[in-house]
Amino acid sequence: MSDPFALDDELPAAPAPQARTVRTVPDDAPWLKGLNPEQHQAVTTLDGPVLVLSGAGTGKTRVLTSRLAHILASGRAHPWQCLAVTFTNKAAREMRERVAQLVGPAAESLWLGTFHALCVRILRRHAELVGLKSNFTILDSDDQLRLLKQVMEAEGIDPKRWPAQAVMGTIQRWKDRGQVPAKVGGEGGELAGGRMPEIYRLYQERLRVVNACDFGDLLLHCLTLFLDRADILAEYQEQFRFILVDEYQDTNVAQYLWLRLLAQKHKNICCVGDDDQSIYSWRGAEVGNILKFEKDFPAARVIRLERNYRSTPHILAAASHLIAHNQGRLGKTLRPGLDFPEGESVKVRVRGVWDGPEEARVVVDAVETHQRAGQALAGMAILVRAGFQTREFEERLITTGVPYRVLGGPRFYERLEIRDAMAYLRLVASPDDGLAFERVVNNPKRGLGDAALQMVHMTARAKGLSLFEAARLLSETDELKPKPRAALAGFCADIIRWRGDLELVGHGPLAARIIDESGYLAMWKADKSPEAPGRVENLGELIRALGEYESLEQFLDHVALVMENDNRDDLDKLVIMTLHGAKGLEFDRVFLPGWEEGVFPHQRALDEGGLAGLEEERRLAYVGLTRARKSLLITFAANRRIYNQWQTALPSRFLDELPDAHVEREAERGFHAGGATQWRKPAEIDTWQVAQRPAGTDFDPGDRVLHAKFGPGTVVAVDGDKLEIAFDKAGTKKVLGSFVELM
């Protein structure tokens, strides 16, 4: 069978276009002024396919808007004959506004918007041809799941064994690849009892019955329309004489196929993107789309924008040297497009610290130093690989009184999974806490319907009891049906048992037990949404946080105070966000913590993606480095506490890939993270009076030792080079033997 997406001329020819008058654009046109040679070439090269490799901070938005203005001013196309595709509504609005400033009202007639918005516009005209009416509804994620659950229930698919989120995730991945139910064959594995293709088909049929589609259908139906109706495809191919695509490296397979089909007639397609910033494979993006552009369009011109107008030479050199270790890239090297005054271009700093709390102190101290020097907090950002990393920084910022905001998500203790877990802890600490009871009594699902919960509330009001006591009472009588009565009895018994265990096992281990035995952790581990693994990590960080407090009550009081952090938007605030969320943003001062193996690169990415996963992690590191304008501090810790247990951490391999000529490395005694230069001790660390112990030296339980940070102590247990030591003042900790000296 021939490839329906092959670039050939077999499709019916469109009617001959009317002759147009092409005008010469003067060299001093407003949109051409100030362009560097590469930008000018990208704007004025209009004929044929063009790939613009636009590095970070090289002015891609200006190139896109100027190119649109140049096409219109030259008379090569009417506004409605230009298709410009973006990934966000914000980017589309900004592009339209900037084009309007250059060409006036003509910008309103451009076909400019996101993939989804443009596909909706096409489908409204041709809905009947894909089995819908023109007034079809676009379902949000909640309605999609509700509809899918109806299908699963009708087919006898157990939602406890096969969560609807997991089933929906597989369906959406098929749609991202442009696969209709008939094309998925036997894919889907054991999910839904091996019936995934059938469930997909039934779900699509149900969508048509209710005259609706989900977001994945918008592209999928357009592809189906174009493949089934060559006449309609030819109409749009003829209409769109020029196609512009922003962030091409983020396209999925369906988007890629849609663009290729539309570009077959005129082949005047200009894709702007950066293969070095492709970081969204987890939501369907295919870096291969941009890597094979020249193969798809053999006559393509490739224009590299390498002049960066954002960052200092040291930052650019570090980023370029790091990303050069990736094999799957087209290749470019960023170079400064700005002249920085002498003294402003400082080397990238890499700092090794003992543990997470010390890392938070070092970073926040640096923030305060910049603030005292007159730097606005809003111009600084802490960029983390995973959401769980934010907690220690948030607590340190609150302690020091530095205002902050978390972009792209709630603060740590405001996150859904943390609020749920905290409600369990609150209920164990105080069974009268009615709000906590309401939050967790049926979370995860225990078979308690609205009628049963309403009976609990009625009993509590009638007898003047707390909700928990009312639930206990109802679990011992016959007012409820057997199933909900048994569920309530089990829940209440668990709370009582956990409350009794509090003094026996301690609040940290008990919290881990509660999250596990309640089924809450298993619920998120079974969830296949992109957010679920991060929620599991956050629950682990919550348990770790508990270990820092003497009692559960002390911890709960602390969290209540933390949540009172000033939320006023009029304050100058430091930004905390994930590296994924930071793409497209820039800050004067950037802090990159947690550069350790397993954290960054993230272990899950390595386990699931292998070499491809590692290269995407490296691209994410590149994105982090290139967010900084003036200064960059990277930190890593030798020890992390995971589930209340200290574990040693290895410095990230990415630190080895930073060039010594542009990096200043400093660390406490015993640290090393690659590079040919010697690590120096930070000036604020006191001089130690002990020499570092040679590697391989043996220790025995009972030895009196001296640790460079925790002071004197007695060895309790030995596991290779890992020692458990009861320190005289710091308590019992696990440390590396290379940081310890016999007394």
CA 451 to mean position of chain CA atoms: 39
The SS3 of residue 96 is helix
Question: Are the C-beta atoms of 396 and 360 separated by less than 8 Å?
Answer: yes
Q: Does 300 count as an annotated binding residue? A: no
Q: Whats the size of the chain, residue-wise? A: 743
Peptide bond into 341 cis (omega under 30): no
Q: Does 674 count as an annotated binding residue? A: no
Is residue 143 part of the annotated active site? The answer reads no
| CA distances, 318 to each of 311, 323, 363, 508, 584 (Å) | 11, 9, 20, 41, 19
Antiparallel, parallel or unpaired: β 301-305 and 404-406: unpaired
Which residue is catalytic, options 39, 60, 179, 615? 60
Phi, psi (deg, nearest 5) at residue 404: -150, 165
Q: Does 57 count as an annotated binding residue? A: yes
* Rounded Cα gap, residues 213 and 205, in angstroms: 10
Q: Does 61 count as an annotated binding residue? A: yes
Peptide bond into 181 cis (omega under 30): no
* Rounded Cα gap, residues 578 and 244, in angstroms: 29
Written as six digits, the tokens of 566 are 């000033």
**Which one, of 75, 22, 64, lies nearest residue 42 by Cα?**
64
Which residue is catalytic, options 41, 44, 45, 61? 61
**Which one, of 30, 52, 44, 47, lies nearest residue 98 by Cα?**
30
Residue in this structure with the two tokens 């004929």, named with its chain if needed: 47
* Rounded Cα gap, residues 524 and 529, in angstroms: 9
* Rounded Cα gap, residues 163 and 159, in angstroms: 5
Is residue 61 part of the annotated active site? The answer reads yes
Is residue 277 part of the annotated active site? The answer reads yes
Residues 6+ apart with CB under 8 A from 677: 660, 663, 665
Q: Does 59 count as an annotated binding residue? A: yes
Which residue is catalytic, options 176, 214, 217, 246? 246
Helix axes 215-228, 164-176, angle to 10 degrees: 40
Which residue is catalytic, options 247, 276, 359, 469? 247
**Which one, of 114, 473, 706, lies nearest residue 737 by Cα?**
706
Q: Determine the Cα angle at 614 with ends 609 and 616, to 5°.
A: 90
* Rounded Cα gap, residues 492 and 290, in angstroms: 56
Is residue 247 part of the annotated active site? The answer reads yes
* Rounded Cα gap, residues 186 and 190, in angstroms: 10
* Rounded Cα gap, residues 202 and 705, in angstroms: 68
Q: Other CB atoms closer than 10 Å to residue 722's CB: what's the count?
A: 14
Is residue 292 part of the annotated active site? The answer reads no
Which residue is catalytic, options 62, 332, 391, 627? 627
* Rounded Cα gap, residues 172 and 185, in angstroms: 16
**Which one, of 484, 482, 483, lies nearest residue 471 by Cα?**
484
What amino acid is encoded at 173 in this protein?
Answer: R
* Rounded Cα gap, residues 315 and 588, in angstroms: 12
Phi, psi (deg, nearest 5) at residue 202: -65, -35
Q: Does 55 count as an annotated binding residue? A: yes
Which residue is catalytic, options 86, 114, 144, 277? 277
Phi, psi (deg, nearest 5) at residue 47: -85, 130
What amino acid is encoded at 728 in this protein?
Answer: D
Find the distance separating the first CA and the last CA of the chain, reported in whole Å.
78
| Torsion region of 623: left, alpha or beta (phi above 0 gives left; psi -120 to 50 gives alpha) | alpha
Helix axes 164-176, 253-263, angle to 10 degrees: 20
Report CA torsion sign: 539, 543, 544, 550. positive
What amino acid is encoded at 578 in this protein?
Answer: T
* Rounded Cα gap, residues 142 and 217, in angstroms: 16
Q: Does 183 count as an annotated binding residue? A: no
Q: Which residues are annotated as a binding site for ATP?
A: 54-61
Please give the positions annotated as active site: 60-61, 246-247, 277, 627
Q: Which residues are annotated as a binding site?
A: 54-61
